[in-house]
Homo-oligomer: A and B are copies of this chain.
Amino acid sequence: MPELIPGPVEVVGAGLIGTSIALACRRAGADVVLSDTSPEHLRTATGLGAGRPRSEEDRPALVVVAVPPDHLGGAISAALDAAGEDTVVTDVGSVKAAPLAEVASHPAASRYVGSHPMAGSERSGPLAASADLFTGRPWAICRHDGAAATAVRRVVALVEACGAVPVMLTPAEHDKAVARTSHVPHLLASLVAGTLAGAAPEHLALTGQGVRDVTRVAGGDPALYSQIISGNSDAVAGLLREIRNRLDLALDAVAAGDRAGLESLLAHGLAGTRAIPGKHGGPVQPVAAVHVAVPDHPGELARLFADVGASGVNIEDVRIDHDPGRPVGLVELDVAEGRSEELHAALEAKGWVTHR
């Protein structure tokens, strides 16, 4: 473990995220101690080699609070109460201003620095944990004005030990950022998905890949997301009002047949898709799609990707099309714009039925 963390790491909450952090710290050579209100989670996590149960004499150099959103403020305060003079406390909750507000008046608040790894899984609990969960992921570090510099450095050391990429943001900036990149998209995806509930099956037969993509995140747990979104209400409400105003403009444009107005709203959306960072954080590269018809059984995908590999063309993205009634799958391969002809020709030569 880096010398910036001169002692054990305690992880409070041995769920998916906590146990994954514990495993990553163990891999980095740290002494990891675990605590959890659930004896079962604790047993599972220690059984996975994520660390040993915390005992009273342990003096952690760093406490990582990884509990559900509702319990963050209390658990951070408790950790600051129990900690020694040199102990730094962080948390990994998905909102940052609300827990800080609960902790800010604590006498040891200077040793608290919140953080938020941008990683997760549809699964939960310690059994789904992995030391690799954070590899290469952004991990926001949200120092408040009163935070000690040594405390910030220790949290940066944790993030780097987990293989993640530190992104420095204030707590307020962080919450605005995730409202925009996560909470509001989730809520709108859910509203769109809601219009499909109870729709006639013969109408849903016309469902294509587009609406499946738009609504995918709405498959997440409503109880968890209502907790997360409620914890970031100011930032979320501000953006929702902005979207409602534009939705009203869209409604007016559609109802009035104002095609130029509608086109301008759609052009604004197009500009937004282009603002999303590309692979590896670089600018988005223009890609072209090559579609390949693939019989729906195991060996065929392997054969396809072997032929793709032999072509030497790098695949930027891949998608398997699930349209109802298809006797074969359709695989979409996205490649750099200048390489699609080459891939197309290579696959046709191997007998694949492709189109662009």
Binding site for B on A (CB under 8 A): 118, 121-123, 128-130, 132-133, 135-138, 140, 165, 167-169, 173-174, 176-178, 180-182, 184-208, 210-220, 222-223, 225-227, 229-230, 233, 236-237, 239-244, 246-248, 250-251, 254-255, 257, 259-260, 262-282, 288-289, 291, 293, 296-320, 322-328, 330, 353-356
**Distance between Cα atoms of A201 and B277 in the complex (Å):** 8
A199 to chain B, nearest CB (A): 6
Which among B128, B182, B213, B278 is the interface contact of A206 at CB below 8 angstroms? B182
Give the copy number: 2
Say yes or no: B247 contacts A240, CB within 8 Å. yes
Given the contacts A190-B270, A210-B186, A237-B255, A202 and B326 also touching, CB distance less than 8 Å: no
Complex Cα–Cα for A251 and B245 (A): 12
Measured CA separation A318–B326 after assembly (Å): 17
Q: In the complex, which residue of chain B has the Cβ closest to the Cβ of A297? A: B314
* Chain B min CB distance to A159 (Å): 12
Taking a contact as CB atoms under 8 Å apart, the answer to whether B275 and A225 are in contact is no
Q: Across the interface, do A319 and B322 meet the contact criterion of CB distance under 8 Å?
A: no
B216 engages A188 (CB within 8 Å): no
Q: Which 6 interchain pairs have the tightest Cβ spacing?
A: A302-B309, A190-B269, A130-B355, A281-B324, A136-B326, A193-B272
B181 near A207 with CB under 8 A, answer yes
A199 touches B265 (CB 8 A): no
* Residues of chain B contacted by A198 (CB below 8 angstroms): 275
- A244-B248, A276-B207 known; A202 vs B177 contact (CB < 8 Å): yes
Give complex CA distance A218, B255 in Å: 21
Contacts A132-B353, A165-B325, A219-B270 known; 9 new A-B pairs at CB < 8 A: A173-B202, A180-B199, A181-B196, A191-B269, A196-B275, A207-B277, A226-B259, A244-B247, A303-B309
Nearest CB of B to A101, in Å:
14
- Complex contact A118–B323 (CB within 8 A): yes
A237 to B252, CA, bound (A): 9
Residues of B within 8 A of A307 (CB): 302
Report whether A240 and B251 are in contact in the complex, using a CB–CB cutoff of 8 Å.
yes
The distance in angstroms between the C-alpha atoms of A186 and B213, with both chains bound, is: 11
Q: Which of B121, B267, B322, B324 contacts A317 (CB 8 A)?
A: B322
Min CB distance, A103 to chain B, in Å?
20
* Min CB gap A171→B, angstroms: 13
- 14 A-B pairs, CB-CB below 8 angstroms? A118-B323, A121-B289, A128-B355, A135-B328, A185-B215, A189-B210, A194-B246, A196-B273, A207-B277, A226-B263, A241-B251, A298-B311, A301-B318, A306-B306
Q: Nearest residue in B to A268 (C-beta to C-beta)?
A: B194
A272 and B202 contact, Cβ closer than 8 Å, known pairs A132-B355, A301-B309, A315-B301: no
Q: Nearest B residue to A271 by beta-carbon distance?
A: B197
Minimum CB–CB distance for A250 against chain B, Å: 6
> Which one of A186, A215, A216, A303 has the highest number of Cβ atoms from chain B below 10 Å of its Cβ?
A215
Q: Which of B138, B218, B251, B273 contacts A216 (CB under 8 A)?
A: B273
Chain B residues in 8 Å Cβ range of A122: 288-289
Contact assessment for A203 and B176 in the assembled complex, using a CB-CB cutoff below 8 Å: yes
- CB atoms of B298 and A308 under 8 A apart: yes
Contact call B280/A326, Cβ cutoff below 8 A: yes
- Which residues of the partner chain B approach A263 to less than 8 Å between Cβ atoms? 222-223, 226
User: Which residues of B lie under 8 Å from residue A208 when comparing CB positions?
Assistant: 118, 181-182
